[in-house]
């Protein structure tokens, strides 16, 4: 089945003329038709558009003829971009290609299919999508994680070769861990966010979800790079990430933050991660305990800064230029109030209210400025730690995938599950989740992810360690 | 940091341009109380002298030539997303009597 292959395998077969790009699109499309009704990974997919592009694809290009699925918050010209929200779900069509899509096309890739997500990427289970439920391919009664839950479910469920996601507090790495695929969030600024619908602009970053570490390296080679349309995009050289793949890890210094290996992590997750650490050691890595003393500030800091930024970013949804407009409104103010209240779901409204509160007169210093100061301490922890080690490892998520609906009435409990991923966004660092084992719950084996975090712009070492570990499995 | 959280949920909703039912207002008020109590973790640390970080990478004041470079979006493609448009413009309810 072509839809279950890696990019690297498919590229070899394309270059050998054993298969055509059309064959791949048709096979992925067949897999979607067969299984999407139970998984709910895709919100929409335009087979004809993908076939047209596949037929004219340049096979010699590095991603030539490979269909890649896209989270539904990244604009692809002419396609929907719902953000999992009713406010954009009615009839929005993207008028342009996002920067990352321009790069994907330059590399020969074919954007195919729109993936479900928590509304405006706010959530860790994809249950906040207003447009449908996504299920974990390993256990259909469980969530796929989120917010890029559609991306992870599609890749792990063999409904996509690879996918794009976005990560503001763990939204690529956590669903990759919970579904059992590879997910990497590059350094803040590596991949252009022009055309990514903004959630929290100081934290958002696009990245790939793939079947293998090698595929992630290949995609990064062609998705990274400066874009003048994104003022936060870094004007730095993109190294050849593929050259990191296959290098041994003898002497690589691996840090274990003592604050991350405490109670609260599911014992099955802890055991899988401990086994992975022993494996890294047996490959020649040097394991050292380190300290990230301000870890406990991470979630609190994030839930001030991210909602604050979101409340400003989502002000653009006013029913004027695009998106839902209420037909009950008499005047302009009422149009704003009703269009937004009808269009946004409960979690998005909760975060807009929280963000508005922490930015409001009298509370700005107490919350927003205080959180920005805490961010300095969290970032400083990593700078200190990386004087001693090359990478830092931990569980990606303290828990395996929970049951659908389990955390619905308790938003704070859901927020706390992002404890290991959030500090990485606050510090702007690259992080990857690779499958590292399973935990059996109710007789079903659920995936566990190992998070590897690196220095800013040092994705190469991440990929080197992730790949070396992956080969032992 | 305030000890108890004086949340005027209706005031906040007005600032955020959201309309809440009474039931929603009560529910959001309670949830915000809970989240803000957790956020008070920040008040346990001495942060007075620490410099705030706005974002993690050292990129400041990126400027470019003030020109479109011929890359403006197509007007029709943009306007076709507008809930209402007329004469090549976005249409909104009347604001001046």
pLDDT digits 0-9 by tens, A175-217:
999 999 999 999 999 999 999 999 999 999 999 999 999 999 9
Which of A141-150, A384-393, A435-444, B46-55 is predicted least confidently?
B46-55
Q: Is A448 helix (H, G, I), strand (E, B) or coil?
A: strand
Kindly list the catalytic residues of A. 71, 147, 171
Q: Which two tokens stand for residue A330?
A: 């008499």
For domain A2-244, the question of CATH label 3.30.1330.10 is answered with no
Residue of A201, A232, A372 with shortest CB distance to B59: A232
Is there a contact between B78 and A95 if contact means CB atoms under 8 Å apart? yes
Give the mutation candidate from A354, A407, A429 for the B interface (greatest B CB count, under 10 A): A354
Give the mutation candidate from B55, B67, B88 for the A interface (greatest A CB count, under 10 A): B55
Residue B66 Cα, gap to closest chain A Cα (Å): 12
pLDDT of residue A412: 82
DSSP states of A224-285? -S--TT-TTS-------GGGGTT---TT-EEEEEGGGSSTTS-HHHHHHHHHHHHHHHHTTP
More reliable by pLDDT, A334 or B57: A334
Q: Which positions in chain A touch B73 (Cβ < 8 Å)?
A: 95-96
Distance CA A249, CA A226 (A): 30
> Comparing C-alpha atoms, which of A230, A156, A235, A225 is closest to residue A191?
A225
Type and span of the H or E element at A367: none
Per-residue pLDDT reduced to its tens digit, B11-41: 999 999 999 999 999 999 999 999 999 999 9
Sign, CA dihedral A107-A113-A116-A121, equals positive
pLDDT of residue B2: 46
Per-residue pLDDT reduced to its tens digit, A108-121: 999 999 999 999 99
For the structural domain made of B1-47, what CATH number should be given? 1.10.20.60
Average pLDDT on A36-51 reads 98
Average pLDDT on A292-307 reads 96
Distance CA A458, CA A243 (A): 13
Distance CA A449, CA A180 (A): 7
Q: What is the ipTM of this complex?
A: 0.94
Residue of B9, B17, B20 with shortest CB distance to A336: B17
Residue A172 Cα, gap to closest chain B Cα (Å): 19
pLDDT over 60 (residue A148) = yes
pLDDT over 70 (residue A348) = yes
Give yes or no for a cis peptide into B36 (omega within 30° of 0).
no
Is there a contact between A366 and B2 if contact means CB atoms under 8 Å apart? yes
Residue A260 Cα, gap to closest chain B Cα (Å): 17
Domain residue ranges in chain B: 1-47
Distance CA A398, CA A396 (A): 7
Domain residue ranges in chain A: 2-244
What share of chain A has pLDDT > 90, as a percent? Answer: 96
- Nearest 10 degrees: Cα torsion A382, A253, A259, A368: 10
Is there a contact between B32 and A411 if contact means CB atoms under 8 Å apart? no
Q: Which positions in chain A touch B35 (Cβ < 8 Å)?
A: 303, 354, 411-412, 415
- Burial group, residue B69, by CB count within 10 angstroms (0-12, 13-18, 19+): exposed
Distance CA A419, CA A398 (A): 8
Is there a contact between B32 and A350 if contact means CB atoms under 8 Å apart? yes
Q: Which two tokens stand for residue A120?
A: 């405006």
Average pLDDT on A60-72 reads 98
Q: Which positions in chain B touch A234 (Cβ < 8 Å)?
A: 57, 59
**Residue B4 binned pLDDT confidence (cut-offs 50, 70, 90):** low
Supply the mean pLDDT for chain A: 97
DSSP states of A157-183? TTS-S-EEEEESSSTTHHHHHHHTSEE
Residue of A299, A338, A373 with shortest CB distance to B52: A373
Asked if A420 and A257 touch (Cβ cutoff 8 Å), the reply is no
- Nearest 10 degrees: Cα torsion A106, A107, A110, A113: -100
Average pLDDT on A89-117 reads 96
A–B CB contacts, 8 A cutoff, strictly below: 173
| A367: Cβ contacts below 8 Å, ≥ 6 apart | A304, A308, A357, A358, A359, B1, B39, B42
Angle between helices A346-359 and A298-313 (to 10 degrees): 100
Chain B CA closest to residue A235: B59
Distance CA B71, CA A448 (A): 45
pLDDT over 70 (residue B3) = no
Beta strands in A249-401 (DSSP E): 253-257, 286-290, 391-395
Q: Is A209 helix (H, G, I), strand (E, B) or coil?
A: strand
Q: Which positions in chain A touch B72 (Cβ < 8 Å)?
A: none
In DSSP terms, A68 is beta-bridged to A111
**Residue A234 binned pLDDT confidence (cut-offs 50, 70, 90):** very high
Is there a contact between A294 and B52 if contact means CB atoms under 8 Å apart? no
Asked if A322 and A92 touch (Cβ cutoff 8 Å), the reply is yes
DSSP code at position A451: E
């Amino acid at each position: 089945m072509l839809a279950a292959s890696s990019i690297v395998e498919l590229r070899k077969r394309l270059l050998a003329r054993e298969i055509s790009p059309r064959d791949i699109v048709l096979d992925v499309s067949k897999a979607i038709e067969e299984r999407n009704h139970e998984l709910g990974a895709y919100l929409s997919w335009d087979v004809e558009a993908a076939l047209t592009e596949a037929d004219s694809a340049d096979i010699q290009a590095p991603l030539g003829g490979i269909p890649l699925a896209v989270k539904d918050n990244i604009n692809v010209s002419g396609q929907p971009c719902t953000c999992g929200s009713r406010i954009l779900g009615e009839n929005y069509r993207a008028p342009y290609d996002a920067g990352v899509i321009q790069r994907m096309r330059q590399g020969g890739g074919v954007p195919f299919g729109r993936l479900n997500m928590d509304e405006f990427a706010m959530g860790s289970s994809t249950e906040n999508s207003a447009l449908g439920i996504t299920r974990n391919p390993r256990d259909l009664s469980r969530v796929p994680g989120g917010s890029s839950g559609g991306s992870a479910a599609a890749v792990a469920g063999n409904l996509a070769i690879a996918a794009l996601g976005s990560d503001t507090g763990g939204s690529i790495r956590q669903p990759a861990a919970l579904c059992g695929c590879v997910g990497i969030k590059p350094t803040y600024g590596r991949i252009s966010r022009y055309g990514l619908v903004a959630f929290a602009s100081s934290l958002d970053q696009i990245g790939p979800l793939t079947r293998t570490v090698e595929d992630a390296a290949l995609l990064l080679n062609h998705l990274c790079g400066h874009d003048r349309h994104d003022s936060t995009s870094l004007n730095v050289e993109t190294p050849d990430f593929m050259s990191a793949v296959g290098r041994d890890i003898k002497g690589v210094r691996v840090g274990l933050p003592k604050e991350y290996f405490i109670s609260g992590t599911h014992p099955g997750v802890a055991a899988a991660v401990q086994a992975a650490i022993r494996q890294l050691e047996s490959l020649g890595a040097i394991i050292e305990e380190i300290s990230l003393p301000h870890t406990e500030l991470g979630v609190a800091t994030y839930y001030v800064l991210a909602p604050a930024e979101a409340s400003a970013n989502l002000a653009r949804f006013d029913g004027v230029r695009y998106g839902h407009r209420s037909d009950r409104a008499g005047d302009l103010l009422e149009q704003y109030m009703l269009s937004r209240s009808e269009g946004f779901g409960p979690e998005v409204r909760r975060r807009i209210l929280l963000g508005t509160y922490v930015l409001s007169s009298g509370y700005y210093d107490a919350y927003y400025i205080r959180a920005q100061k805490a961010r300095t301490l969290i970032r400083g922890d990593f700078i200190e730690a990386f004087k001693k080690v090359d990478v830092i490892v931990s569980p990606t998520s303290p828990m395996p995938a929970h049951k659908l609906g389990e955390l619905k009435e308790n938003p704070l409990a859901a927020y706390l599950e992002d404890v290991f991923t959030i500090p990485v966004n606050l510090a702007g660092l690259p992080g990857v989740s690779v499958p590292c084992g399973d935990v059996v719950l109710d007789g079903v084996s659920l995936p566990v992810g190992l998070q590897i975090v690196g220095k800013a712009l040092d994705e190469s070492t991440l990929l080197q360690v992730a790949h070396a570990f992956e080969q032992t499995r | 940091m305030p000890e108890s959280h004086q949340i005027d949920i209706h005031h906040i909703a007005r600032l955020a341009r959201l309309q809440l039912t009474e039931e929603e207002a009560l529910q959001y008020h309670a949830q915000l109380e809970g989240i803000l109590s957790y956020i008070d973790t920040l008040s346990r640390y001495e942060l007075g002298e620490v410099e705030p970080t706005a974002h993690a990478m050292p990129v400041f004041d990126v400027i470019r030539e003030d020109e479109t470079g011929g890359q403006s979006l197509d007007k029709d493609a943009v306007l076709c997303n507008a809930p209402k448009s007329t004469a090549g413009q976005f249409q909104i309810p009347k604001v001046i009597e």
